[in-house]
C-alpha cells in the first residue's frame, strides 16, 4: 500500500490504531488517473463517486464521472439537465478544475463498439439482429462489460487529447460486487462457448461425425426456443465471429488498466453486516487480482451524540417511567436514544471487526446526513466528510 494514500489518526467508529484514508491526498495525486468506486448495491456508490469527482475538480483536476445509476439522481444533484452517454459539463464548479458527468447507455455503448470494429454492412447485420438486440440490452453481465468498455474509451480519449486527468467510475449496482471484474470473462466465455461455435461450425472433417448428434440437440433447442430464435442466434454468431477477437482484446486491455498503478479502487460499504461482508470479499478479490486498493468508505454511519447518557441508563430510565404508569414523551425519547446508541455500538463493532480482519486497509467512516443529497452543496458536504472535515468525522 502506497504511503501517499494513507495517514494515521483517530476516526469515529474506527479502532484508534487503524489507518485512516486520506481522501485529499488520493485526489491530489497526479499519478492517479482512474478512481473506481465499487461495492454492493444500495451503499451510496453513486453519491460517493459524485462527491469525490466534485471535490477533485474543485481542487484543480480535470474530471469526468461515469455513473450507472438507475434512479438518475446524479443529474439533479449536479445541476445537469440530463445525463447520457456523452459527457456533460457540470456548472458552478469552483476553482480552476472542471467536471463533466455522464451516465452509461449500455446498448449505445455496445452499438458504438460494433460500428467501430465492423464494416458498415457487417455492422448493419449485427445491429438489426434480434438476438443481438436482446444480448446488448439485457444479457447478464452486459452492463458490467459495457461499463468497462466505456471506461476504456474515455481513458484512451483522455490520453489522446488531454481532456481529463481523472476518471471517476461508479460501478453497476450488481447482485454481487464481484460482477464488475468478472463480466468481461463471463461475456466472452458465452460468445466463445463451445456449443455456440458448434451451432455455426461448417460440416466438414471431424464436424461431419458430430452432425447427427448435433442435429438432435438442435432439434430439441428448436422445440424449446423456437426455430426463429435459433436462426437469429446462428446468424448473430456468424456475423459477430470476426469481431469477437477485438472484444476480448479490448476487455483484456481494460482489465490490465485496472491493475495499473494509475488506477485506485475505493470499496464502498454501509455499516451493516451484509455490506461489510461483501466489502471484505471485494478487498480480497482485488488483492488476489493485484489491483491497487486505496481504501474503504463506510457510508451512512450513525451520527455522533453529545450526551453522556449511556444505553443502559436511558433504557432503565424509560422502564422506570413505564412501570410508574406514566406514558410520557420523555420515556419515548429515552427509548429512542437507547436504540440509537445501540445501533451506533453495533456499527462500531462491525467496522472494528472488518478492520481487525483487514488491518492494512485505510478507511473513512461517513456519518449519515439528515436529508438526501440533491445539489452541489450537498455533494460538497459529503466531500468534506469523506476528507475527514466537518462535525462528527
Q: pLDDT tens digits for 153-164?
A: 899 999 999 999
Judge whether 263 and 33 are in contact, CB under 8 Å.
yes
Instruction: Write out the H or E segment, with its range, that includes residue 390.
Output: none
pLDDT tens by residue, 33-85: 999 999 888 898 889 999 999 999 999 999 999 987 656 666 777 888 888 88
- 279-310 exposure pattern, b = at least 16 Cβ within 10 A, e = fewer: bbebbebbeeeebbbbbbbbbbbbeeeeeeee
Write out pLDDT tens, residues 187-209.
666 655 554 555 555 444 444 43
User: Which has the minimum average pLDDT: 10-14, 203-207, 373-377?
Assistant: 203-207
Q: Do residues 12 and 367 lie in contact, with contact meaning Cβ atoms separated by under 8 Å?
A: yes
* Helix (H) / strand (E) containing 210: none
Residue whose grid cell is 473506481? 36
When pLDDT is cut at 50, 70 and 90, the band that residue 212 belongs to is very low
First and final CA of the chain: distance in angstroms?
23
Interval 279-315: pLDDT, tens: 999 999 899 988 999 999 999 998 766 566 666 666 6
Residue ranges of the domains in the chain?
A: 3-386
The superfamily CATH assigns to domain 3-386 is P-loop containing nucleotide triphosphate hydrolases (3.40.50.300)
CA distance 336 to 340: 6
Give the burial class of 344: count Cβ atoms within 10 A of its Cβ; 0-12 exposed, 13-18 middle, 19 or more buried. Answer: buried
Of 3-7, 75-79, 249-253, 340-344, least confident by mean pLDDT is 3-7
Query: Helical H runs in the chain?
Result: 23-28, 45-58, 73-78, 106-117, 120-127, 130-138, 142-161, 179-191, 194-200, 206-209, 211-225, 227-259, 273-288, 311-323, 329-357, 376-386
> Which pLDDT score is estimated for 271?
94
Q: Could you tell me the CA-to-CA distances from 347 to 48, 230, 234, 302, 360 in Å, in that order?
A: 19, 52, 53, 8, 20
- pLDDT at residue 391, rounded to an integer: 53
Q: Are the C-beta atoms of 368 and 380 separated by less than 8 Å?
A: no
- The cell 481522501 sits on which residue? 23
Amino acid at each position: 500500500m502506497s504511503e501517499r494514500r494513507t495517514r494515521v489518526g483517530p476516526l469515529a467508529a474506527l479502532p484508534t490504531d487503524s489507518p485512516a484514508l486520506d481522501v485529499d491526498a488520493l485526489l491530489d495525486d497526479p499519478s492517479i488517473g482512474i478512481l473506481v468506486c465499487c461495492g454492493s448495491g444500495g451503499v451510496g456508490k453513486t453519491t460517493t463517486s459524485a462527491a469525490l469527482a466534485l471535490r477533485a475538480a474543485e481542487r484543480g483536476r480535470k474530471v469526468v464521472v461515469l455513473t450507472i445509476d438507475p434512479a438518475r439522481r446524479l443529474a439533479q444533484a449536479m445541476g445537469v439537465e440530463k445525463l447520457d452517454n456523452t459527457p456533460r459539463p457540470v456548472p458552478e464548479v469552483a476553482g480552476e478544475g472542471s467536471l463533466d458527468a455522464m451516465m452509461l447507455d449500455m446498448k449505445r455503448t455496445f452499438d458504438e463498439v460494433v460500428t467501430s470494429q465492423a464494416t458498415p454492412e457487417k455492422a448493419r447485420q449485427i445491429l438489426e439482429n434480434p438476438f443481438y438486440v436482446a444480448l446488448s440490452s439485457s444479457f447478464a453481465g452486459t452492463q458490467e462489460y459495457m461499463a468497462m468498455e466505456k471506461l476504456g474509451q474515455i481513458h484512451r480519449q483522455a490520453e489522446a487529447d488531454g481532456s481529463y486527468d481523472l476518471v471517476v467510475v461508479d460501478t453497476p449496482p450488481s447482485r454481487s460486487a464481484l460482477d464488475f471484474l468478472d463480466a468481461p470473462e463471463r461475456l466472452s466465455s458465452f460468445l466463445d462457448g463451445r456449443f455456440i461455435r458448434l451451432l455455426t461450425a461448417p460440416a466438414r472433417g471431424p464436424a461431419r461425425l458430430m452432425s447427427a448428434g448435433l442435429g438432435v440437440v438442435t432439434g430439441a433447442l428448436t422445440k424449446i426456443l423456437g426455430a426463429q430464435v435459433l436462426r437469429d442466434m446462428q446468424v448473430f454468431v456468424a456475423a459477430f465471429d470476426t469481431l469477437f477477437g477485438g472484444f476480448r482484446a479490448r476487455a483484456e486491455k481494460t482489465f490490465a488498466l485496472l491493475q495499473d498503478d494509475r488506477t485506485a479502487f475505493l470499496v464502498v460499504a454501509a455499516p451493516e453486516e451484509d455490506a461489510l461482508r461483501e466489502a471484505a470479499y471485494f478487498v480480497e478479490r482485488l488483492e488476489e487480482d493485484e489491483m491497487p486498493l486505496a481504501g474503504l468508505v463506510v457510508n451512512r454511519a450513525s451520527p455522533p451524540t453529545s450526551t453522556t447518557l449511556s444505553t443502559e441508563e436511558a433504557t432503565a430510565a424509560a422502564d422506570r417511567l413505564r412501570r410508574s404508569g406514566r406514558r410520557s414523551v420523555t420515556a419515548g425519547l429515552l427509548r429512542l436514544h437507547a436504540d440509537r446508541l445501540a445501533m451506533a455500538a453495533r456499527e462500531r463493532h462491525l467496522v472494528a471487526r472488518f478492520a481487525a480482519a483487514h488491518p492494512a486497509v485505510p478507511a473513512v467512516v461517513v456519518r449519515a446526513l439528515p436529508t438526501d443529497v440533491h445539489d452541489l452543496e450537498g455533494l460538497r458536504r459529503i466531500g468534506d466528510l469523506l476528507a475527514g472535515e466537518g462535525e462528527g468525522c
